[in-house]
């Protein structure tokens, strides 16, 4: 294809997106669109499955059968989210194995928040309430993104997320209405998860590189700072309701803007965690790599079994 032809196709392509048309996997697309989508969708998929680890940590120690069933269901949902997103990503011509390989080698990133440890039961409350809460804020606008398979996956994900956040908040509420120790445990969890949750919405607009192109392709509909403000504004009243204190002395309602002003985020910490130096990066990665490697013989055996059955069927029929 000549350069001029490509340029022409690109213009038609951008115009389709501007008209709110969806792009489907077999449609012509600029190489950069394909690569950007593989990167973002796979990063998203990785976050879903690595995100199962900090919560999986508490399934066997949930304080009641009710809590255990809910947590198990939530973690199972996250596995499903990972699957929806990996499948959507694979429609762009990359294999599941390559995607895992990118995660395991550290080439692909996942959300930095999952590199923090879940040390008490209250963390299950804080994670559902704050981490899933921030995820919802990130994900809802993506239900209208331009790439069809991604948008459809996000619609399904968003439908399931609301239970995640509600069960988390309910855990917090129960602790806050319980004994003094239980309430202190909830406060401690909020103290540890608040700032990482704010960071989860991504670097400040000034530092975020891909935004303009991403806006055009509807991979992003609001900037990181806007999303963060939205998260803070909706979460502070919820903390008040719990009777908990947000660990930010500078947090203050601003009558003029109708929003909360907040203190400085420790971006050094954020970049440290992104670069692999968070409290649990190594543990998370080794859990993933071990699961993949130790499961290899099972995957191979299942495949061999399927092939044998298939041969048997063919032999019977002939």
Partner 1 sequence: MKKNWPLWEIFVRSKNGLEHRHFGSLHAADAEMAMENARDVYTRRNEGVSIWVVESKNITASNPADNGEMFEPAQDKVYRHPTFYDLPDEVKHM
**What residue ranges bind Fe ion (CB under 5 A)?**
48, 78, 81, 132, 161, 164
The entry of Fe ion, partner 1, none that residue 164 binds, CB within 5 to 8 Å by partner kind: Fe ion
Which lies closer to partner 1 via its Cβ, residue 215 or residue 306? 306
Which lies closer to partner 1 via its Cβ, residue 89 or residue 122? 89
Q: How far apart are CA 238 and CA 244, in angstroms?
A: 9
Determine if 15 is a binding residue for partner 1 (CB under 8 A): no
Determine if 161 is a binding residue for partner 1 (CB under 8 A): no
3-state secondary structure the chain: CCHHHHHHHHHHHHHHHHCCCCECCCCCCCHHHHHHHHHHHHHHHHHHHHCHHHHHCCHHHCCCHHHHHHHHHHHHHHHHHHHHHHHHHHCCCCCHHHHHHHHHCCCCCCCHHHHCCCCCCHHHHHHHHHHHHHHHHHHHHHHHCCEHHHHHHHHHHHHHHHHHHHHHHHHHHHHHCCCHHHHHHHHHHHHHHHHHHHHHCCCCHHHCCCHHHHHHCCCCCCCHHHHHHHHHHHHHHHHHHHCCCCCCCCCEEECCCCEEECCCCCHHHHHHHHHHHCCCHHHHHHHHHHHHHHCHHHHHHHHHHHHHHHHHHHHHHC
Determine if 8 is a binding residue for partner 1 (CB under 8 A): no
Determine if 226 is a binding residue for partner 1 (CB under 8 A): no
> Which listed residue (7, 28, 93, 204) binds partner 1 by CB under 8 A?
28
Closest separation between CB of residue 78 and Fe ion, Å? 5
The entry of Fe ion, partner 1, none that residue 76 binds, CB within 5 to 8 Å by partner kind: partner 1
Determine if 87 is a binding residue for partner 1 (CB under 8 A): yes
Tokens of 315: 């032999």
Closest separation between CB of residue 303 and partner 1, Å? 5
Residue span binding partner 1 (CB under 8 A) among the ranges 21-29, 113-121, 184-192, 223-231: 21-29
Determine if 132 is a binding residue for partner 1 (CB under 8 A): no
Determine if 95 is a binding residue for partner 1 (CB under 8 A): yes
Determine if 306 is a binding residue for partner 1 (CB under 8 A): yes
Determine if 96 is a binding residue for partner 1 (CB under 8 A): yes
Which lies closer to partner 1 via its Cβ, residue 97 or residue 250? 97
Q: How far apart are CA 241 and CA 55, in angstroms?
A: 25
The entry of Fe ion, partner 1, none that residue 300 binds, CB within 5 to 8 Å by partner kind: partner 1
Residue span binding partner 1 (CB under 8 A) among the ranges 60-68, 103-111, 174-182, 297-305: 297-305
Determine if 310 is a binding residue for partner 1 (CB under 8 A): yes
- Dihedral of the alpha carbons of 260, 254, 140, 111, in degrees to the nearest 10: -30
Q: Which residues bind partner 1 (CB under 8 A)?
A: 24, 26-28, 73, 76-77, 80, 83-84, 87, 90, 95-97, 152-153, 156, 160, 299-300, 302-303, 305-306, 309-310
């Amino acid at each position: 294809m000549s350069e001029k032809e490509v340029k022409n196709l690109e213009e038609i392509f951008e115009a389709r997106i501007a008209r709110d048309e969806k792009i489907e996997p077999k449609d012509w697309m600029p190489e950069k669109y394909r690569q950007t989508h593989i990167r973002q969708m796979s990063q998203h998929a990785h976050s879903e499955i690595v995100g199962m680890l900090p919560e999986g940590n508490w399934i066997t120690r949930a304080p009641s059968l009710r809590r255990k069933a809910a947590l198990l269901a939530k973690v199972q949902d996250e596995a499903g989210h990972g699957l929806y997103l990996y499948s959507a990503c694979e429609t762009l011509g990359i294999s599941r194995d390559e995607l895992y390989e990118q995660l395991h080698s550290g080439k692909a990133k996942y959300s930095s928040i999952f590199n923090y440890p879940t040390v008490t039961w209250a963390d299950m409350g804080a994670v559902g309430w704050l981490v899933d809460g921030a995820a919802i804020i990130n994900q809802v606008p993506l239900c209208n993104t331009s790439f069809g398979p991604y948008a459809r996956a996000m619609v399904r994900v968003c439908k399931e997320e609301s239970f995640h956040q509600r069960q988390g908040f309910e855990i917090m509420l129960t602790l806050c209405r319980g004994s003094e120790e239980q309430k202190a445990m909830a406060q401690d969890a909020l103290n540890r998860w608040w700032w990482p949750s704010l960071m989860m919405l991504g670097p400040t607009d000034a530092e975020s590189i891909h935004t303009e192109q991403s806006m055009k392709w509807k991979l992003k509909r609001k900037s990181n700072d806007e999303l963060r403000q939205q998260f803070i504004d909706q979460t502070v009243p919820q903390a008040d309701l719990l009777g908990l204190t947000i660990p930010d002395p500078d947090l203050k309602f601003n009558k003029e803007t109708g929003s909360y002003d907040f203190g400085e985020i420790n971006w050094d910490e954020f970049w440290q965690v992104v670069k692999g130096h968070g409290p649990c990066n190594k543990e998370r990665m080794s859990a993933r790599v071990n699961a993949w490697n130790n499961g290899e013989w099972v995957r191979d055996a299942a495949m061999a079994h399927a092939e044998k059955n298939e041969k048997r069927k063919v032999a019977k029929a002939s």
